[in-house]
């Protein structure tokens, strides 16, 4: 919200420089985001046009004589809008102005225009930097004093304030004046509102009935007869313009002005057009139609509140007036409304009709219904002053929602308990009093009644914040928590996640973080068969874009997209991983959110270097990463044939930990790779961290270092090509003395019969209890070979 | 005879000096020390000489032979060293080394780890909660009922979901404060926790907005916790994260779940408080919101605000690496571009 310093000064003495005041307001909760200084004009004064003569050499130019009070100047002028008697801003030679075309500042130089010397100029708003208007010379109000520097007459500082949603009272000049007064120790001076009333009582001319007191706690109105609709005086127009509000006519402008001044929205009805001379505040009928002031026909629903006369709705309460009751005639009577409305209802209605407005914003934030009457009286006074007319006697005030405000109990101890600093009673009471709170001090406590405009205060903690922010948050000391430490029980998954991330970066993988939302289309690309994603992932009810409609059930699409995007500028190996949640729908509950690690790799195994090129990565690189990671985490895993549809059917293996599935390793299916517009093989691994978690506990028993020497034997087997390494290994490992089994060669081709392959193993025999003899090892080796031969048909390679 | 020996020595040593390869050295050895060398011949002829002369010449000739043999050996070593050093010079030590794999943690991970470590060292525990959340924990439990204006500032992504009872709206959490609500509900004081994680807003992407970003919230509940403790804790955090010399500002602000409410800002690093584009001319950069947990929020979670007091805070994470590294577009953080990510 904007506040003009000049306007503010009408209610409070500003004793600080603007920047310091802005600092105080900011620290106390109303952030000043910027101060716009208008003015700073040098060598520009108020002048009056006393004569306009034709230019001797040009039809479109005129010679204008400008009186500055003590001197007169003749300037050449091309603008069409000047008349004798107009007050203008006169710039002396050397004045600094804005170039209307380039927008840059320049100094006015003496000039001859078509042979006539011009010793100064009359400025447009654009040249003064006030607005973009360069069509016309700016005309100043008649009361502008001749010869007065323009900076003194028009200069101002406009504060741009960010008002927090709890302080609708600060959405007004008076509200900020109250804050300023409290924060700077100055008094407020708000003039009494007085005006003359006619003989006839308002009650005899109009009646008000509230049918929906839950949505309208209060409705006040005044009636003013015999007004003259006209443009507002320039000072009023100027003020509205500086707030970005377009002046319309004196009545509408005054309602806007009082809204800015007091924070209470008002609405004026044409009294003549109110049928039955009756106001009924009621819920709209379903489908009820009203044409609003912006000439749009709007269909209402039954949860919206309208202001109606006896026959029809004449306004959407708190949101926008109806065209059917707009003040139209040049003279006439108006009914002026100031009411309190339910914030939620206004919010809902405004949202449904997509009608944002200054009035709506104030109602939504819950301005106090108490504000209605003082604001109504102020607006009535201004209308009588500026539009003539006479107010009917009395006001209408229907107030079904009036609530007694009970005092709130506050003690020094309560303040100290929350703030950690002991303020004495005088300072506490002083702070609250300066903000308009009524403090009744007893022996043991203060009974505090908030002022009517503070709808946000209901608890002692609210009062404590008032005390703290008025005295200054900088008065609160900084202390360290001195209580005993709470019991420490860290979530083990956090440690696991850190270790996994550290390991993967160590293996050369770059971590990425991508959006959790994706599209069904991308997920479908992962399934080369049907493309049908089952189960259907969680969908957003209001997605931002079609690309971000579903919560991802796996991390694959974003990694494949990232690979494709990076491949455009990266010719080396790409290894990426993401560790994040996936979202698995559950009936009638929040989704499961397991943490999943997903990694992909493609391209050369090693960075290209002068030491030689490298082969492209393959399945065993992916498997190696997983084995290395699990080994590092201390997890024993089995690997079984996998059946993931998105992976190459014969190049994938599922990771099994303690009998249950914990992830997958494989080559991404060529059709999936194609669907993501990637033109190279991609290998992928996926691990469910929850499946790993129970087996990562750091409590494994220590294994003694072997005390007796090991004996190493190499054997080369010939087996059918269908026999897997795992089957051989399992058999060898089943002999306790075979402490380690390593495969060091796999070969098929010459010297090995068709349909067979050779597998070479190094077996390390070791006993924890004694030194093995040759005979002993020979015996075990024979048994091993016997079993390999009988179960797998293996023979020793000669 | 003696003169002949003198000459021989002179010639042999002179020749040896100019030898540059092992082959030449071998030729030289044959010529001067070989069986058919002048010296060997001479020694063989010694017997024919008179005794006196034989003695004198013999001694000299043997000395010469030993000397030449010695010189040869030295030359041989010198040649070997030469050859070795020639081999070493062949290594161009300016060539780059054999590449080892390097991967990096995402800058947001690094930042979150750093922040969590600071709070853990102050006795806080790291807790995570669901990203898909009930309206209750994201709003209701935090004093933000249905039509509260604070909801307008947190445009929400709603999940297309209808429970059997038709109610219980489900959403993507708009702040990690939802985890605070869950902690308050589930635990008995004393509590000290920080809650990092992803949050979501219905917001179009641009250089300063993305629909998903990161936050960390924190809560402490115990007897006798005051706003001074909040200030001390957050100042300590700021000191450690931003450095000793950064000025910190504590001002009044409003959040529905705290009272009194606080906004903490640090001095702008670009302009040093003078005001610039980055800080919007204020000289300060807002870092976090905080305050004393609202008694209604505690009560709703089953904690008696008359017995316990509590502070809470929450901050956006993405801005921190952006400030630290001068990153001017938040979308880079979620773009997976290796040219960007490899810089951290
Ligand atoms: Zn700055």
Q: What are A703-706's contacts with CB under 8 Å, separation 24+?
A: A704/A768, A706/A739, A706/A766, A706/A768
Residue spans of beta strands (DSSP E) within A438-507: 438-441, 446-449
User: Residue B197 falls within a domain, yes or no?
Assistant: yes
Chain A contact probe: residue of B338, B340, B342, B344 with most A CBs at under 10 A: B338
Residues of A in contact with B258 (CB under 8 A): none
Q: What are A412-417's contacts with CB under 8 Å, separation 24+?
A: A414/A460, A414/A464, A415/A464, A415/A467, A416/B226, A417/B224, A417/B226, A417/B309
User: Residue B102 falls within a domain, yes or no?
Assistant: no
- pLDDT tens digits, residue range A407-452? 999 999 999 999 999 999 999 999 999 999 999 999 889 999 999 9
Q: Is the pLDDT of residue A201 over 90?
A: yes
For residues B74 and B200, state if they share a domain: no
For residues B210 and B295, state if they share a domain: yes
Smallest CA–CA separation between A643 and chain B, in Å? 29
Give CA–CA dist B135/B158, Å, rounded.
9
What is the model's pLDDT at position A67? 92
Say if A568 is an interface residue toward chain B (CB within 8 Å). Answer: no
Q: Is the pLDDT of residue B167 over 70?
A: no
Chain B contact probe: residue of A505, A511, A573, A586 with most B CBs at under 10 A: A511
- pLDDT tens digits, residue range A730-777? 999 999 999 999 999 999 988 899 999 999 999 999 999 999 999 999
For residues B335 and B239, state if they share a domain: yes
Subunit contact B336:A558, Cβ cutoff 8 A: yes
What is the model's pLDDT at position A699? 65
- pLDDT tens digits, residue range A230-272? 999 988 988 888 787 888 999 999 999 999 999 999 999 999 9
Of B106, B122, B153, the CB nearest to A511: B106
Question: Distance from first CA to last CA of chain A, Å, rounded?
Answer: 93
Is A56 exposed, middle or buried, given 0-12, 13-18 or 19+ CB atoms closer than 10 A? exposed
Smallest CA–CA separation between B141 and chain A, in Å? 17
Cα(B250) to ligand 1 centroid in Å equals: 17
| Average pLDDT over every residue of B276-289 | 90
Six token digits for residue A199? 């003989």
- Classified as helix, coil or strand, B174 is coil
Q: Is the pLDDT of residue B177 over 80?
A: yes
Give CA–CA dist A557/A536, Å, rounded.
16
Domain extent for B112:
107-341
Q: Is the pLDDT of residue A678 over 80?
A: yes
| Average pLDDT over every residue of B180-196 | 95
**What secondary structure letter does DSSP report for A485?**
P
Q: What are A164-167's contacts with CB under 8 Å, separation 24+?
A: A164/A29, A164/A30, A164/B253, A164/B254, A165/A365, A165/B148, A165/B149, A165/B150, A165/B153, A165/B254, A166/A365, A166/A456, A166/B254, A166/B256, A167/A29, A167/A30, A167/A365, A167/A456, A167/B254
For residues B18 and B63, state if they share a domain: yes
What total number of domains does chain B contain?
2
What is the model's pLDDT at position A38? 77
Residue spans of beta strands (DSSP E) within B91-223: 125-126, 132-134, 170-172, 191-200, 212-222
3-state helix, strand, coil in chain B (%, to 5): 45, 20, 35
Q: Is B15 or A459 the better-scoring residue by pLDDT?
A: A459
Say if A507 is an interface residue toward chain B (CB within 8 Å). Answer: yes
- pLDDT tens digits, residue range B220-258? 999 999 999 999 999 999 999 999 989 999 999 999 999
User: Residue B93 falls within a domain, yes or no?
Assistant: no
Give CA–CA dist A527/B44, Å, rounded.
99
Give CA–CA dist A664/A776, Å, rounded.
41
What is the model's pLDDT at position B206? 93
Q: Among residues A478, A682, A689, A672, which one has the least CA distance to residue A575? A: A682
Give the confidence band of B165 by pLDDT, cuts at 50, 70, 90.
Answer: low
For residues B57 and B128, state if they share a domain: no
Report the half-sphere exposure of B322 (CA within 13 A, side-chain side).
20
Query: How many Cβ atoms sit within 10 Å of the Cβ of residue B15?
Result: 14
Subunit contact A480:B236, Cβ cutoff 8 A: yes
User: Residue B98 falls within a domain, yes or no?
Assistant: no
What is the model's pLDDT at position A159? 93
Cα(A34) to ligand 1 centroid in Å equals: 13
Q: Among residues A341, A337, A289, which one has the least CA distance to residue A312? A: A289
Q: What are phi and psi of A159, to 5 degrees?
A: -85, 135
Smallest CA–CA separation between B227 and chain A, in Å? 5
Give the confidence band of B101 by pLDDT, cuts at 50, 70, 90.
Answer: confident
Give CA–CA dist A8/A698, Å, rounded.
67
Residues of A in contact with B283 (CB under 8 A): none
Cα(B324) to ligand 1 centroid in Å equals: 13
Six token digits for residue A386? 């500026």
For residues B59 and B137, state if they share a domain: no
Smallest CA–CA separation between B234 and chain A, in Å? 9
Residues of B in contact with A462 (CB under 8 A): 259
Chain B contact probe: residue of A28, A163, A478, A499 with most B CBs at under 10 A: A478
Say if A417 is an interface residue toward chain B (CB within 8 Å). Answer: yes
Q: What is the dihedral of CA A500, A506, A509, A512, to 10 degrees?
A: 60
Closest chain B residue to A490 measured between Cα atoms?
A: B125
Give CA–CA dist A322/A294, Å, rounded.
9
Cα(B271) to ligand 1 centroid in Å equals: 4
Give helix A492-506 / helix A619-633 axis angle, nearest 10°: 140
**A–B: how many Cβ contacts below 8 A?**
257
| Average pLDDT over every residue of A667-682 | 96
What is the model's pLDDT at position A74? 87
Q: Among residues A577, A600, A576, which one has the least CA distance to residue A673? A: A600
Subunit contact B231:A476, Cβ cutoff 8 A: yes
Give the confidence band of A42 by pLDDT, cuts at 50, 70, 90.
Answer: confident
Of A33, A34, A491, the CB nearest to B127: A491
Smallest CA–CA separation between B152 and chain A, in Å? 10
User: Domain containing B170 — which CATH number?
Assistant: 3.30.930.10
For residues B241 and B281, state if they share a domain: yes
| Average pLDDT over every residue of A216-242 | 91
For residues B24 and B145, state if they share a domain: no
Give CA–CA dist A231/A214, Å, rounded.
38
Of A474, A481, A566, the CB nearest to B225: A481
Give CA–CA dist A685/A764, Å, rounded.
31
Tokens 């009914």 identify what position?
Answer: A335
For residues B157 and B32, state if they share a domain: no
Residues of A in contact with B256 (CB under 8 A): 166
Give CA–CA dist A535/A516, Å, rounded.
17
User: Residue B88 falls within a domain, yes or no?
Assistant: no
Subunit contact A517:B95, Cβ cutoff 8 A: no
Neighbours of ion ligand 1 (CB under 5 A): B 268, 270-271, 276, 278-279
Residues of A in contact with B211 (CB under 8 A): 515, 517, 544, 548
ipTM for the predicted complex comes to 0.85
Give CA–CA dist A756/A762, Å, rounded.
20
| Average pLDDT over every residue of A111-134 | 83
Cα(A33) to ligand 1 centroid in Å equals: 13
Do the strands A278-283 and A207-210 form a parallel or antiparallel pair, or are they unpaired? parallel
Smallest CA–CA separation between A540 and chain B, in Å? 4
For residues B256 and B320, state if they share a domain: yes
CA distances from B58 to A783, B13, B243 (A): 79, 20, 88
For residues B232 and B300, state if they share a domain: yes
**What secondary structure letter does DSSP report for A143?**
T
- pLDDT tens digits, residue range A349-402? 998 999 988 999 999 999 999 999 999 999 999 999 999 999 999 999 999 999
Residues of A in contact with B222 (CB under 8 A): 481, 483, 486
The maximal CA–CA distance of chain A, rounded, in angstroms, is 131
Residues of B in contact with A512 (CB under 8 A): 106, 336, 341
Subunit contact B161:A513, Cβ cutoff 8 A: no
Cα(B325) to ligand 1 centroid in Å equals: 15
User: Residue B126 falls within a domain, yes or no?
Assistant: yes
Listed residues B42, B63, B80: the one ending a domain = B80
What is the model's pLDDT at position A59? 81
Cα(A162) to ligand 1 centroid in Å equals: 19
Smallest CA–CA separation between A788 and chain B, in Å? 39
What is the model's pLDDT at position A149? 87
Cα(A161) to ligand 1 centroid in Å equals: 19
Listed residues B37, B65, B80: the one ending a domain = B80
Subunit contact A468:B252, Cβ cutoff 8 A: yes
Cα(B267) to ligand 1 centroid in Å equals: 8
For residues B158 and B272, state if they share a domain: yes
Least confident of A40-54, A126-140, A249-263, B109-123: A126-140
Percent of chain A with pLDDT over 70: 100
Give CA–CA dist A318/A339, Å, rounded.
8
- In sequence order, the β-bridge partners of residue A140 are A87
Which pTM was predicted? 0.83
User: Residue B92 falls within a domain, yes or no?
Assistant: no
CA angle, A405 as apex, A399 and A407 as ends, to 5°?
170
Give CA–CA dist A498/A496, Å, rounded.
5
Cα(B241) to ligand 1 centroid in Å equals: 18
Give CA–CA dist B132/B170, Å, rounded.
7
User: Residue B257 falls within a domain, yes or no?
Assistant: yes
Q: What is the mean pLDDT of chain A?
A: 92
Say if A365 is an interface residue toward chain B (CB within 8 Å). Answer: yes
Give the confidence band of B166 by pLDDT, cuts at 50, 70, 90.
Answer: low
- pLDDT tens digits, residue range B293-332? 999 999 999 999 999 999 999 999 999 999 999 999 999 9
Of A461, A551, A590, the CB nearest to B259: A461
Would you say A463 and A408 are in contact if contact means Cβ atoms under 8 Å apart? yes
Give the confidence band of A657 by pLDDT, cuts at 50, 70, 90.
Answer: very high
Cα(B249) to ligand 1 centroid in Å equals: 14
The maximal CA–CA distance of chain B, rounded, in angstroms, is 136
Give CA–CA dist A638/B319, Å, rounded.
43
What is the model's pLDDT at position A186? 93
Give CA–CA dist B286/B279, Å, rounded.
9
Q: Is the pLDDT of residue A130 over 80?
A: no
Do the strands A105-107 and A111-113 form a parallel or antiparallel pair, or are they unpaired? unpaired
- pLDDT tens digits, residue range A609-651? 888 878 999 999 999 999 999 999 999 899 999 999 999 999 9
- Where helices occur in A250-371 by DSSP H, the ranges are 250-262, 343-353, 358-364
- pLDDT tens digits, residue range B13-67? 888 888 888 888 888 888 888 888 888 887 787 778 888 888 888 888 888 888 8
Subunit contact A494:B106, Cβ cutoff 8 A: no
Give the confidence band of A698 by pLDDT, cuts at 50, 70, 90.
Answer: low
What is the model's pLDDT at position A428? 96
Do the strands A289-291 and A116-118 form a parallel or antiparallel pair, or are they unpaired? unpaired
Would you say B229 and B220 are in contact if contact means Cβ atoms under 8 Å apart? yes
Percent of chain B with pLDDT over 70: 98
């Amino acid at each position: 919200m904007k506040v003009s310093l000049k306007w503010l000064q009408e209610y409070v003495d500003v004793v600080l420089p603007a920047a310091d005041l802005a600092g105080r307001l900011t620290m106390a909760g109303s952030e000043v985001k910027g101060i716009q200084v208008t003015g700073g004009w040098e060598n520009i004064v108020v002048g009056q046009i006393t004569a306009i003569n034709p230019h001797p050499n040009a039809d479109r130019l005129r010679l204008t004589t400008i009186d500055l009070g003590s001197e007169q100047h003749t300037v050449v002028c091309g603008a069409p809008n000047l008349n004798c008697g107009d007050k203008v801003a006169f710039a002396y030679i050397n004045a600094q102005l804005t170039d209307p075309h380039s927008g840059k500042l320049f100094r006015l130089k003496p000039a001859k225009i078509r042979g006539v010397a011009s010793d100064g100029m009359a400025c447009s708003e654009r040249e003064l930097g006030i607005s973009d208007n360069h069509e016309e010379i700016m005309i100043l109000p008649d009361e502008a004093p001749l010869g007065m520097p323009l900076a003194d007459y028009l200069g101002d500082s406009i504060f741009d304030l960010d008002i927090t949603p709890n302080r609708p009272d600060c959405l007004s000049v008076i509200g900020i004046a109250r804050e300023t007064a409290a924060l700077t120790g100055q008094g407020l001076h708000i003039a009494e509102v007085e005006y003359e009333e006619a003989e006839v009582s308002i009650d005899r001319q109009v009646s008000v009935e509230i049918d929906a007191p839950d949505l309208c706690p209060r409705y006040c109105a005044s009636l003013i007869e015999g007004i003259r609709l006209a443009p507002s005086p320039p000072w009023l127009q100027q003020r509205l313009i500086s707030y970005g509000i377009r002046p319309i006519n004196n009545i509408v402008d005054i309602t806007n002005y009082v809204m800015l001044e007091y924070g209470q929205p008002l609405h004026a009805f044409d009294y003549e057009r109110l049928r039955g001379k009756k106001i009924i505040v009621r819920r709209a009928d379903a489908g009820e139609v009203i044409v609003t002031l912006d000439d749009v026909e709007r269909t209402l629903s039954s949860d919206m509140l309208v202001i109606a006369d006896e026959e029809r709705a004449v306004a959407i309460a708190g949101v926008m007036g109806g065209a059917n009751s707009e003040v139209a005639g040049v003279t006439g009577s108006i009914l002026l409304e100031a009411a309190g409305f339910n914030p939620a209802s206004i919010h809902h209605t405004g949202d449904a009709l997509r009608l944002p407005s200054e009035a709506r914003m104030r109602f939504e934030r819950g301005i106090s219904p108490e504000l209605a009457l003082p604001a109504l009286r102020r607006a009535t006074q201004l209308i009588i002053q500026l539009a003539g007319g006479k107010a009917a006697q009395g006001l209408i005030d229907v107030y079904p929602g009036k609530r007694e405000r009970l005092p709130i109990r506050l003690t020094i101890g309560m303040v100290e308990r929350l703030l950690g600093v002991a303020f004495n009673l005088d300072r506490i009471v002083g702070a609250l009093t300066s903000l308009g709170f009524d403090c009744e001090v007893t022996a043991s406590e203060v009974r505090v009644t908030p002022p009517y405009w503070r709808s946000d205060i209901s608890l002692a903690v609210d009062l404590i914040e008032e005390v703290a922010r008025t005295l200054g948050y900088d008065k609160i000391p900084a202390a360290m928590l001195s209580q005993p430490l709470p019991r420490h029980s860290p979530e083990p998954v956090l440690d696991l996640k850190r270790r996994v991330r550290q390991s993967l970066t160590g293996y050369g993988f770059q971590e990425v973080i991508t959006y959790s939302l994706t599209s069904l289309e991308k997920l479908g690309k992962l399934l080369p068969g049907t493309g049908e994603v089952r189960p259907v992932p969680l969908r957003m009810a209001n997605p931002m874009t079609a690309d971000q409609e579903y919560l991802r059930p796996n991390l694959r699409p974003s990694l494949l997209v990232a690979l494709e995007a990076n491949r455009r500028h990266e010719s080396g190996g790409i290894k990426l991983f993401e560790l994040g949640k996936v979202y698995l729908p559950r009936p009638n509950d929040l989704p499961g959110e397991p943490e999943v690690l997903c990694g992909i790799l493609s391209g050369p195994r090693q960075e290209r270097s002068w030491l030689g090129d490298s082969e492209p990565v393959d399945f065993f690189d992916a498997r190696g990463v997983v084995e290395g990671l699990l080994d590092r985490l201390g997890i024993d895993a089995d690997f079984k044939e996998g059946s993931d549809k998105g992976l190459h059917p014969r190049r994938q293996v599922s990771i099994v930990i303690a009998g249950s599935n914990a992830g997958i390793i494989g080559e991404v299916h060529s059709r999936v790779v194609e669907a993501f517009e990637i033109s190279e093989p991609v290998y992928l691994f996926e691990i469910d961290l929850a499946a790993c978690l129970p087996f990562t506990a750091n409590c494994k028993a220590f294994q003694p270092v072997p005390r007796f020497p090991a004996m190493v034997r190499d054997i080369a087997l010939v087996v059918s090509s269908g026999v897997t390494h795992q089957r051989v290994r399992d058999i060898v490992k089943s002999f306790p003395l075979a402490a380690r089994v390593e495969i060091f060669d796999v070969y098929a081709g010459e010297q090995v019969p068709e349909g067979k392959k050779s597998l070479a193993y190094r077996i390390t025999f070791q006993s924890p209890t004694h030194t093995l003899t040759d005979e002993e090892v020979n015996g075990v080796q024979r048994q091993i070979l016997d079993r390999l031969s009988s179960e797998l048909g293996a023979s020793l390679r000669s | 005879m003696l003169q002949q020996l003198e000459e021989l020595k002179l010639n042999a040593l002179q020749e040896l000096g100019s030898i540059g390869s092992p082959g030449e050295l071998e030729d030289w050895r044959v010529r001067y020390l070989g069986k058919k060398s002048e010296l060997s011949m001479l020694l063989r002829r010694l017997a024919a000489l008179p005794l006196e002369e034989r003695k004198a010449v013999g001694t000299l000739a043997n000395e010469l032979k030993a000397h030449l043999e010695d010189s040869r050996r030295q030359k041989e070593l010198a040649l070997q060293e030469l050859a070795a050093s020639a081999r070493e010079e062949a290594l161009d030590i300016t060539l780059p080394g054999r590449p080892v794999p390097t991967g990096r943690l995402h800058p947001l991970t690094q930042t979150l780890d750093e922040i969590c470590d600071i709070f853990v060292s102050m006795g806080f525990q790291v807790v995570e909660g669901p990203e898909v959340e009930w309206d209750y924990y994201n709003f209701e439990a935090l004093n933000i009922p249905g039509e509260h204006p604070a909801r307008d500032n947190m445009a929400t992504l709603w999940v297309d979901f209808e429970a059997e009872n038709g109610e219980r709206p489900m959403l993507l959490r708009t702040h990690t404060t939802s985890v605070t609500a869950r902690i308050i509900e589930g635990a008995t004081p004393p509590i000290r926790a920080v809650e990092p994680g992803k949050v979501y807003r219905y917001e179009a992407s641009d250089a300063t907005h993305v629909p998903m970003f990161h936050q960390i919230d924190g809560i402490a509940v115990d007897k006798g916790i005051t706003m001074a403790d909040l200030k001390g804790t957050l100042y300590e955090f700021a000191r450690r994260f931003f450095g000793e010399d950064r000025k910190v500002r504590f001002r009044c602000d409003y959040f529905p779940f705290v009272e009194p409410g606080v906004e903490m800002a640090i001095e702008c690093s670009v302009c040093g408080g003078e005001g610039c584009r980055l800080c919007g001319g204020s000289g300060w950069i807002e870092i976090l919101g905080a305050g004393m947990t609202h008694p209604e929020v505690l009560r709703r979670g089953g904690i008696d605000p008359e017995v316990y007091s509590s502070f809470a805070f929450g901050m956006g994470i993405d801005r921190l690496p952006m400030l630290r590294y001068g990153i001017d577009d938040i979308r880079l953080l979620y773009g997976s571009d290796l040219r960007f990510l490899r810089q951290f």
